[in-house]
Amino acid sequence: MDKKEIMAEKEIIKEVAGELQKFQLEIPVEIISFDELKKVLSGIINYLITNDFSRLISVLYRLDISEKKLQQLLKKSINISAGEIIAEMIIERQVEKIKTRKLFPANNNYSNEEKW
């Protein structure tokens, strides 16, 4: 993995951790790889599945995780835990958001008259 890929991975890990902190889901800052992030995140998700399912549903909705895609993956993935599947979907969604933000950066150069 080259330096650029490592930086991108760290950016995504930071982004996912930041998004999840909005829902009081703490991801340790010392996570350094996608595999480690997926492992920690799947543990949190498995906890929510058994202890606070409505909160999990709320988090998935607010992170814009496709319910249809999730149902399809859960049906066809027999030997993988639901937590791992959902964690991977969250990471994939965050990667999509980062790419979109880079393609369409926010233009904050509006005059005061143009701002709402």
Q: What is the pLDDT of residues 33-74, one digit of tens each?
A: 888 889 999 999 999 999 999 999 999 999 999 999 999 999
Question: Can you give the residue ranges of every domain in the chain?
Answer: 3-98
Q: What is the pLDDT of residues 14-38, one digit of tens each?
A: 877 887 888 788 887 788 788 888 9
Q: What is the pLDDT of residues 72-106, one digit of tens each?
A: 999 998 889 999 999 999 988 988 887 888 788 77
pLDDT band of residue 111 (cuts 50, 70, 90) is: low
pTM of the model: 0.80
Give dist(CA 95, CA 15) in Å, integer: 9
